Structure 1
Amino acid sequence: MSKKISVMDRRDFVKKSGIGLFGAALAPSFLSNLNAAGRLRTAHIGLGGMGMADLDAISSHELVDVVALCDVDSINLAKAKALHLNAKTYADYRELLRDMGDDIDAVIVSTPDHTHAPASIMAMELNKPVYCQKPLTHHVSEARAMNKMAAERNLVTQMGIQVHSFYDYKLATLLIQSGIIGKVHTVRAWSPKNWGYDGPGPTGSDPVPSTLDWNLWQGTAAERPYKEGFYHPGNWRKVMDYGCGTLGDMGVHIFDTPYNALQLDVPETILNECRLPTGFGFPEHNIVTYEFPGTDYTAEKLKWVWYDGGGAPSNHLDLVLPDGETLPDQGAMFMGEKGRLLLPHFQQLPRKIVDGKYVEMDIESFNLGKPVKDYDAESKKHYHQFVDACLGKGETTAPFSYAARLTETILLGVIAGRFPNQTLHWNSKKAKFDEKEPNEFLDGKYREF
């Protein structure tokens, strides 16, 4: 049987995990084990679709040894084990970390969103570097706690936003920061993906597949009956208890470059135009408007509008392209003093627009080399960057210090979806809304399991 954890308020959990209780100093065992053989021993928690992609990319580094694999689905676990015959296997990440704490150097967390923080925090308690899939956490309080713990323990961390390291996104960052369109006053970003569900919650229950440990899959989330087709393996992103909707999936990727390029902090106000909440699934269509304080690269205030769901975005003059061209399915548009910059998602070069016409740009001056359109090669750079940083070679570009702020921004928009058409005011210093009701959703309860 898996060892149970106590029921506690998430707020209490993350406070205890972020300060004092476990100590902030690096353990000698961590310092001596890491790099002992000049290689990195990795443990992988979550081996579903993205988990297998993460496993493939991390293990492709020539200095990585995969020593532990964990998944609540025995089918996923068997597939991964067939690729790494010497790795030990587990269904419960807590057992893995307790049993193999001295025999692993880094942990990769690729679970559904609601397990990101519990697994990552436990790994960081053992002073292990962590690569965690996006969005970093399911709750704002968890993002702040993970950032705090990583900083106090001086751990190498990276959030799984692999396109962060792609050629076209690095180029867009350099272009914006060079002032190519002047100070930016508005960003509009969009994705037609639909990780929402407007229907009623399921009733009744279905038999749990013999290959799935449903209790472990739910983890710290509230217990509910298993229903085929609603949660595992593919639809959990649509459900409030487990995922973060389209904003938490594609939004993290598409927000990333503008957020990084403009050096934004967290927003001051958030408004989500969507249907009334159902208490079960996220809205299928969202228009989220953020207002950020200004930076060196923006006007005094920055307006950011996100559209998702089928048909996104709505028609707007900011998004009209030259010669009647159709917008890319997903992407972002920067509006500045000197024109606009279109950034498709992804592996398409950014394009400058002035007075309704495309304008040529000198991209050779940025010394990035020739454009790359090889997803497999490009995506592995982000993973290998983490491995190299763990081995003392360079730093990561999406550490938790950055990822926590970006995730907090995303999650504030997700929370605003529970209060449609109401402007929410965020106090970053106090880590709370001025409005009382939304603060309920900054954290929650951890279930005993």
Structure 2
Amino acid sequence: MKEKTNSRRDFVKTASIAAAGFMIVPRHVLGGKGFIAPSDRLIVAGVGAGGKGESDLTGFVSGGKADIGFLCDVDDRRAANSIKRFPKAKYYKDWREMFDKESKNFDAVSVSTPDHNHAIVTLSAMQLKKHVYVQKPLTHDIYEARILTEAAVRYKVVTQMGNQGSSSDGSRKLMEWYNAGIIGDVHTVYCWTDRPVWPQGIPWPSTKADIPKELDWDLWLGTAPQTNYIDKLVPFNWRGWWDYGTGALGDMGCHLVDAPFRVLGLNYPTDVECSVGSVYVDSFKRGYFPESCPPSSHVIMNFNSSKQNNAPVRMHWMDGGIQPERPQELGPDEIFGDGGNGVLFIGTKGKMLCDTYGKNPRLLPLSRNAEVNVPSTIPLVPGQESGHYTQWVDAAIAGYGKMEVSSDFSVAGPLTEALLMGNLAIRGFDIRKANASGNGFTYPGRYKKLLWDGPNMRITNFDEANQFVKRQYRSGWTLGM
């Protein structure tokens, strides 16, 4: 009977492949609704196949339970390595065409596009009942993050954001120390980074460049306003422009703020204020450029106490190489964070410190680490950062609600909202104002503490900021709600 069953299973699988004209078939095709193939394999479609997208796809298959069935990228140059790495995968340039033609042939979608197109691709995939893995930050706008968080529950799909440090052992050790009361209630947190490592604080180039023949510029723009192509924007320097990226806070905040957000059980901030660095142009006159993120910033967000932390929390975010004052408990030759990045928790009974991804957690002074022994109580993720990918694959195979993942949208959504709310203060909202030379800008939002109504997603004391809570998509593009 076993031999006959296996023979029939092989026949059904072979027939399905032949009918589809394709080498890889999703689990639900093999046996109908609810059927789980003995191989327990997940067929993934990758939207964004180059750079981080390529490394994400490689991470999914590393556990031996996922196959890359489809690749999609607007830039053939960026997709080239993945096409070689996954030769059985069918290649598309337009994710909408891939979804229309192939949605019955894959189980899950990886989204690794520039920030401004995360939400529209992800929601479309969830509406097809596909599990989704989305690079950080989850979205470009606060409204988009709220929509995706709610949609994950509505469509009952397994979700994960690509802040792989949330699967690290270090973030769990920080939580165990905190839960054991080692540093008391936390009232202040500092997070800092040496990012940006891409151009920021510069004017939009006035000279357009030729569009590379391999790049579909209109598809790359997607939801963003129509504009001329500029040299070196693709594949990486888009991060410093507000129409596409979310600056250093959006890029690194999901890796650094994740640990305090998780350890302290934080939710929506109550308010935000900031100061930003400027550049010198035109014979050393100070300049701000509304299209571009500033070269550095210091953001202060306040959070109410939570079920996990009995004190209100004041969180400092610093980027562009700005760092907080070194703790007195840290020796003069001891590295603060990992050098360029770090997180410092200050509690009523002590302090603890970690690097990017929550790695290398340590109590201050460092001598305390030899004295404190807290038993491990929180389950670890096998493989840590690399296991972040295979954890999502396993959970998607198991089905919605069957397995926990480190950064599902119920966690990633509010975290992203908090970071993007900080960006409302960084932007400052330029008001064009004529000066002696006939042009100029003022930034009234930078001189206020912006009060935030989290449940209703609104700044209550400076309405100009709310235009960026939910941006206007380019004509022809809609979130599809």
TM-aligned CA distance change 1:34 to 1:161, over 3 Å = farther
User: SS where residue 455 of structure 2 aligns?
Assistant: coil
One-letter code aligned to 1:172: L
1:136 corresponds in structure 2 to 138
Structure 2 residue identity aligned to 1:81: I
Task: Indicate how the Cα distance of structure 1 residues 397 and 214 shifts in structure 2: closer, same or farther if over 3 A, else same.
Answer: same
- 1:322/1:358 contact within 8 Å kept: no
1:237 positional shift: 0.7
The partner residue of 1:95 within 94, 97, 103 is 97
Q: Give the direction of change, closer, same or farther, for the CA distance of 1:445–1:205 in structure 2 (3 Å limit).
A: same
What is the distance in 1 between the residues matched to 2:328 and 2:74? Answer: 44
Structure with higher RCO (Cα < 8 A, 6+ apart): 1
2:222 counterpart residue number: 219
Match of 1:446 among 466, 473, 479: 473
Structure 1 residues 5-404: aligned runs within 5 Å: 32=33, 35-36=36-37, 38-194=40-196, 195=198, 197-229=200-232, 231-275=233-277, 278-310=289-321, 312-314=322-324, 316=325, 318=327, 321-328=330-337, 329=339, 330-346=341-357, 348-353=359-364, 358-363=368-373, 365-366=375-376, 377-392=383-398, 394-404=403-413
**Offset at residue 223 of structure 1 (A):** 1.1
The CA deviation at 1:204 is: 2.2
Instruction: Note the aligned Cα RMSD (angstroms).
Output: 2.4
Contact 1:167 1:368 in 2 (8 A): no
1:302-348 deviation per Cα after TM superposition (whole angstroms, max 9, x unaligned): 100011003x214x264762345341321100000111101122574
| Whole-angstrom distance in 1 between the partners of 2:380 and 2:161 | 26
Moved more, 47-56 or 170-179: 170-179
Q: Is the Cα–Cα contact under 8 Å of residues 319 and 333 in structure 1 kept in the other structure?
A: no
User: Take 1:320 and 1:414, find their aligned partners in 2: how far apart are those partners?
Assistant: 32
Distance 1:370 1:156 in 2: 19
Task: Return the offset for 1:444.
Answer: 1.4
Alignment check: 8 A CA contact 1:177 1:262 kept: no
Q: Which residue of structure 2 lines up, in the alignment, with residue 433 of structure 1?
A: 459
Per-residue CA deviation, residues 83-102 of structure 1 (Å, 9 max, x unaligned), is 11111100111111111111
**For this pair of structures, how many residues does the alignment match?**
414
Counterpart amino acid of 1:134? K
2:448 paired residue number: 422
- The higher radius of gyration belongs to 2
- Distance in 1 (CA, whole Å) between partners of 2:332 and 2:87 is 56
Contact 2:256 2:358 in 1 (8 A): no
What is the identity, as a one-letter code, of the residue corresponding to 1:423?
A: K
Tell me if structure 2 keeps the 8 A contact 1:33–1:105: no
Quote the residue 2:439 is aligned against: none
Segments of structure 2 that go 5 or more residues without pairing to the other structure are 1-27, 279-287, 429-445, 477-481
Whether the 8 Å contact between 1:273 and 1:288 is mirrored in structure 2 is yes
1:412 to 397, 417, 421: 421
Letter of the 1:412 counterpart: M
SS in 1 for 2:105: coil
CA distance in 1, matches of 2:248, 2:333: 28
- Secondary structure of 2:336's aligned partner: coil
Q: State the TM-score, normalizing by the size of structure 2.
A: 0.81
Q: Distance in 2 between matches of 1:116 and 1:71?
A: 13
